[in-house]
Amino acid sequence: MAKGTARKKQAKLLRTFRKIHRITGAALFIFFFFISITGLLLGWKKHSADLILSKSYEGVSTDLKDWLPLENLHTIANMYLLDSISSELSTEIDRIDIRKNKGMVKFVYANHIWSLQIDGTTGKVLHVERRYSDVIEKIHDGSILDEYLGTSNNQIKVVYTTIMGIALLVFTITGFWLWYGPKRMKRNKASA
């Protein structure tokens, strides 16, 4: 009698986990789809033949003594952006990546996807790129909605990543139980 009751409890628990697994999967299907596709693209970004993320080009010298002042390089980047790409673009900088070992400085802009690689020594524009990897990353982590809706502190990103992290944990636990539970029930039945 006790073994029959235990088996019924295991079966009930298995049905509950299956239901949680199914409901979570159905409710979050579209989000899992976007996360999987964007995660795959981000994993391959450096191996995408410069489609998602361009390679880092090399400047003349890796010795910082030979380099132009950062302020001058910034001015060159902004002038090129406005003169050669579009005078409508913002020159607000998101970040400046100094690649000493490449002799290059990368200027990544905040309000659009353009980026410039400038030779640290000569100030020559080495490469101009559209940073599709940044857009893919924003889709991946949900921050594209913060940007689109103008939220102040990435609230959507935090809520989104929390929900998706918890959902992945729930999927892992329920998925494991959906695999292990029937094995456990068979073993208990065999020992009875």
User: pLDDT tens across 25-81, in order?
Assistant: 888 889 999 999 999 999 999 999 999 999 999 999 999 999 999 999 999 999 999
Residue, of 108 and 183, whose pLDDT is higher = 108
Question: Are residues 71 and 46 both part of a single domain?
Answer: no
Backbone dihedral angles phi then psi of residue 96, each to the nearest 5 degrees? -120, 115
Looking at per-residue confidence, does 156 or 191 come out higher? 156
Claim to verify: residue 67 and residue 43 sit in the same structural domain? no
Residues 58 and 113 in one domain: yes
Number of domains observed in the structure of the chain: 2
Last residue of a domain, one of 81, 111, 130: 130
Q: What CA–CA distance (Å, rounded) separates 61 from 7?
A: 73
- What is the pLDDT averaged over residues 127-139? 94
DSSP state of 82: I
Q: Are residues 69 and 20 part of one domain? A: no
pLDDT tens-place string over residues 139-187:
999 999 998 898 889 999 999 999 999 998 988 888 888 888 777 777 7
45 and 137 belong to one structural domain? yes
Domain extent, residue 89, equals 54-130
pLDDT of 92 reads: 97
67: DSSP letter: S
- 168/149 Cα distance (integer angstroms): 26
Provide the pLDDT for residue 15: 86
Pair of tokens at residue 130: 């559209």
**Residue 190 and residue 192: Cα distance in Å, rounded?**
5
Contact indicator for 102, 57 with CB cutoff of 8 Å: yes
Sheet holding 125-130, edge to edge: 93-99, 104-109, 114-119, 125-130
Of 125, 134, 122, 54, the C-alpha closest to 83 is 125
